[in-house]
Chain A
Amino acid sequence: MRMRTVSLALLLILAMVVSACAPAPEPSAPAPAATEAPAADAAATEPPAEEPAAGEAAPAASGTVIKVATQSPLSGPQSVLGTAIKNGAQLALEQNSAKLQEMGFTVELAPFDDQATPDTGVANAKQIVGDPAVLCLVGHLNSGVAIPSSEEYHNAQLAMVSPANTNPLITTRGYPEVNRIVGRDDVQGVVGAEFANTEMGVKSVYILHDKTAYGQGIAEFFRQKAEELGMNVLGFEGTEEQANFDSVLTPILAANPDLVYFGGIYSQGGLILKQMREKGITAQFLGPDGLDSSEMANLAGDYVKDMYFTTTAGPLSLFPKAKQFIADYEARFGEQVQPYAAEGFDAMNICLNGIAAAVEANGGALPSRAQVAAAVRATADYDGITGMKTFNEIGDLTVAQYFVKQVKSSDPAEWGAAEVVKVLDIPAPASN
C-alpha cells in the first residue's frame, strides 16, 4: 500500500516536472507557430478588421472612440521595463491627442499585460484585433512575444509600432503593419563582438543565453561575429534557470575565458553576474540591452561596477528634447524614468500621427486599419525624443543608433548615469 502511494507520487512528480520545464519565458522557436497562425486565424480575424471600414459610411460622430493599445509585461520580473513602455505611451497620448480630438475623435489608451509570455501576448492580441476601435498598437518588450503576436496584428492589418523589439524577424517577414523604432539584434550582437574585440581586448569568450528568441538570437549573432574576428568561443550554453546558475557557471570556471557574454534579460543576468563573481570567475561581463535596468544593480550589488552593455536605447541625457519628457514623466507618474519609457512615448506619437494622417487622407472620416498602417509606415523624419525616425520599406529605421555603455555605480538610483563609451550610427542591414 505504501509503495503504491510512493509510485503514484512519483508519477505525479514526473507530470509536474514535465509541466514545470516550460516556465514563463517560453523558448520554443516562435517561427513554426508563426507560420501556422495566419492559415488558422485568417478567417477568424478578418471580420472584425472590416468593421472600421464599414463604419466609414457614417460621418465621424463627435466622440467616436479610437483606441491605441499597448502590450508589455506589467507584472512579473520584467515589469519595470514593461510599465515604463506603458507609462511613456500614456504620457504621449495625454499630451498629443488634441489634434485627433479637434477632428472629432476621443482617443483612449487600452493597456494590456503580456506577462512576457508568448501565450498571453497572442491571447491579448486576439482580443485587441477583435475590438474595432483599436487602430494602432504600441508593443512588446520581448521579441519572443512580439513575433507570434504580430501575426495576429498582420492578419487584422493593425499597425504595430515596437518600442523595444530588436529581433531581426520582427521586420524581415516584410509585414506592412509591423514597425520598430529601435535597432536590430543582428547589429547589436555584432556591435558587442566588435567592441569586445577592439576596445576590451578580449581573446576568448564564453557565451550564455536565455533560450528566448531575443537572447539566443543576439547571442548567436555575437558568436558569428566573434568567430569571424578570431576570438576563441569556449562555450555556448542556454539556461532557463531563474535562481541557481551553478550548473552553467562551473564549466566557465574551468574554461577561464576573458569575457562572459550573456544574451538575455536582467532578471537572470543580474544573478548570473553575482553568482559568477562569487564563484571567483573574474572574466569581464558584457550583454545586450536586456541588461539595461536598475534591477541589475539591485540583484548583483557591487559587481555591476564596470560591466558593459550594448543598447539601442540611448541614455536620455544624449537627447536634447528629453529634459521636458523626464520632467513631465516624473510629475505624472512620480517615479524615475526607466529605460524604454521614451521609446514608448515616441512609438505612441508615431501611432497618433499615423492615425491623424490617415483621418486626413480619408476626408475626416474614421480610417480603416489598413489606411492607418500605410500612414504609419510612411512616417518620415519624425523628430522624436530618441532621435529622427524614418521607416524603410520593411519597417526598420533607415538609420539606427547603437550605444555601448559602462556601469559606473552600484547604486540602483544611479543606474541612469551609466557612461556611454561608444555611439554608432548604423544603417539597417539590407532586407532579405
Chain B
Amino acid sequence: MHLRRVNPFKEILRPLGQLLIFIAGSAVVISAITLLLAVLLRPTRIDIDILQTTLVLLPQVLIDGITLGFMYAIIAMGYTMVYGVLEFINFAHGEFVMFGAFAGVELLIWLNAQGMLKTAELGLALVWITLAVLLGMVVAGSLAVTTERLAYRPLRGAPRLVPLIAAIGVSFLLQDTMRFLQSAINGDFYRTFPEFGPFAQRLTLFTVDMNGRPIDVAIQYKAIMLIAFGVVMLVALNYLVNATRLGKAIRSVAQDQKTAALMGIDVNRIIALTFLIGGALGGAAGVLWAFRFTRVDPYMGFIPGLKAFTAAVLGGIGSIVGAMLGGMVLGLLESFSAAYFSIFSRGAFGAEYKDIFAFGILILVLIFRPQGLLGGKTTQKA
C-alpha cells in the first residue's frame, strides 16, 4: 500500500476499460475457436451447414454468455473479497444471493398485488426493479454481516478447515430457514418473478435467412439492463476499493492484519464491511438472476455460488480484476459449450455436458497456472 493521489475519473475509466478488454478478449478468443471448429467440422455434416448455424447463433450465444458472465462476476466478488481479507472461503455466499433474490422478488410480488406493476412504463418499471435490487442488497448485506459476527468471528483463530466447515453448515442452515419461512407463509417455497414492464421486448439487430425461413437475430432489453447493472456495480466496487479511504483500509487489512491494526485501522470493522459489500453484491446478483430466470427457490444459490467460486479461482482468488475476468470467461464458456456441443458432436453430447466442459477448462488452467489467470505476482488484492 502506498499513499498516492487518486484521480477519481481515472479510477472509473480503468475498470471500465478492463471490463471491455475482458469481454471483448474472451468473446473473440472463444468465438474464434468455435468458428475454427465449425470450419473443420463442416464436411462431417451434410444435413445442415454447421458454419452457417454457428454464425446465426453466435450473437445470441454471446449475449447469453456475457449476461451470465456478469452475474458470475458479481457473485464472485463476494468470494474473492472475503478471501482477500480473511483467506477463508465463504461457502454460504450462494445463500446470501438466494436471500437477496427472495427479498427483491417478494417486494415485486407485493407491488404487483397492489397493482403498481401492471401499469408501469419503462421509466417506472426501471425504478421498481432498481428498488428491488437495492432491497436485495440491503437484506443480503445485513445477512452477511450477521453471519460473520455470529458464525465466523468466533472461529477466526481456529484451524483453516473449521470456518470452512462452519460456512457449509451456515449454507444449509440458511437454505432450510428460507424453505421454512416460505413454506410457513406461502405454503410453497417457490416464488415467481412477476412479469412487468417492456423488458421482454426484443431489439432486432438483423434478420438472416436460413433454409428459406427468416431468423431474427435480436437482443432482449432484459439483457441490456442486466449488462448495465453489472457494469455499474463492478465499476462502483472498483472505485470503492481503489480510490477511497475505506478501500485503502480494506486493502491494508488484506495485506497484513496486524500491521493494519497498529496503524489504527479497526480490523473487525473492516472485515465486517467486506462481508457487507460482498453480501450486498451477492444480493443484487440474486435479484438479477431472478429477473433473468424468473423463479426463485431456497436452493437456487448453490449452483451459481459454486460456479462463481470457480470463476474466482479461475481468475485468481483474492483478485478483484481476476474475478471479473474469471466470471466472464466462465459465463462465455458455459454458454458456448451448451449451444455448440450438441451441434458439433451430432447430438452425441447434449447441452447437459456444458459443466463438464467448463470445469475441465478450469482444471487445465489450474494445472498450468495454479494461481489462476490473473493471480500471483500481478495480484491486486482486495
A interface residues (Cβ-Cβ under 8 A, vs B): 2-3, 5-6, 8-10, 12-13, 16-17, 20, 23, 75-77, 79-80, 235-240, 242-244, 246-248, 250-251, 253-254, 256, 267, 271, 274-275, 277-280, 298-299, 301-302
Chain A residues near B192 (CB, 8 Å)? 298-299
Partner pick for A20 among B292, B303, B354, CB 8 A cutoff = B303
For residue B54, give the distance in angstroms from its CB to the closest CB of chain A: 8
Number of interface residues of B (CB under 8 A): 62
Q: A2-B87, A242-B300 are in contact. List 15 more A-B contacts (CB 8 A).
A: A6-B317, A13-B309, A16-B302, A16-B306, A77-B188, A80-B188, A237-B351, A239-B351, A242-B295, A243-B289, A244-B293, A246-B335, A247-B335, A247-B354, A253-B57
Judging by beta carbons under 8 Å apart, are A250 and B370 in contact?
Answer: no
Chain B 252-300 residues near chain A, CB threshold 8 A = 289, 292-295, 297, 299-300
Judging by beta carbons under 8 Å apart, are A278 and B57 in contact?
Answer: no
Judging by beta carbons under 8 Å apart, are B215 and A256 in contact?
Answer: yes
Chain A residues near B216 (CB, 8 Å)? 280
Q: A10-B313, A17-B306, A20-B302 are contacts. A247–B87 as well, Cβ < 8 Å?
A: no
Judging by beta carbons under 8 Å apart, are A254 and B351 in contact?
Answer: no
Chain B residues near A235 (CB, 8 Å)? 342, 347
B interface residues (Cβ-Cβ under 8 A, vs A): 53, 56-57, 60-61, 64, 68, 87, 89, 91, 160-161, 164, 168, 183, 187-190, 192, 195, 200, 202, 210-211, 213, 215-216, 218, 220, 222, 289, 292-295, 297, 299-300, 302-303, 306, 309-310, 313, 317, 334-335, 338-339, 342-343, 347, 350-352, 354-355, 359, 366, 370-371
Partner pick for A302 among B56, B195, B355, CB 8 A cutoff = B195
Chain A residues near B183 (CB, 8 Å)? 75
Q: A250-B339, A256-B213, A267-B190 are contacts. A3–B306 as well, Cβ < 8 Å?
A: no
Judging by beta carbons under 8 Å apart, are B190 and A77 in contact?
Answer: yes
Judging by beta carbons under 8 Å apart, are B211 and A237 in contact?
Answer: no
Partner pick for B359 among A17, A80, A246, A278, CB 8 A cutoff = A17
Chain B residues near A9 (CB, 8 Å)? 89, 164, 309, 313
Partner pick for A247 among B53, B211, B220, B339, CB 8 A cutoff = B339
Judging by beta carbons under 8 Å apart, are B310 and A13 in contact?
Answer: yes
Judging by beta carbons under 8 Å apart, are A271 and B293 in contact?
Answer: yes
Partner pick for B218 among A76, A247, A248, A280, CB 8 A cutoff = A280
Chain B residues near A240 (CB, 8 Å)? 352
Chain A residues near B61 (CB, 8 Å)? 250
Q: Roughly how many angstroms separate A2 CA and B376 CA in the complex, as a whole number? A: 11
Judging by beta carbons under 8 Å apart, are A238 and B350 in contact?
Answer: yes
For residue B152, give the distance in angstroms from its CB to the closest CB of chain A: 15
For residue A344, give the distance in angstroms from its CB to the closest CB of chain B: 18
Partner pick for B343 among A2, A5, A251, A298, CB 8 A cutoff = A251
Judging by beta carbons under 8 Å apart, are B351 and A248 in contact?
Answer: yes
Closest to B317 in A: A6
25 contacts between A and B (CB under 8 A): A3-B371, A5-B87, A5-B89, A5-B160, A9-B89, A13-B309, A75-B188, A77-B190, A235-B342, A237-B350, A246-B64, A247-B334, A247-B338, A248-B338, A250-B339, A251-B57, A253-B57, A253-B60, A254-B56, A256-B215, A271-B293, A271-B295, A277-B200, A280-B215, A280-B216
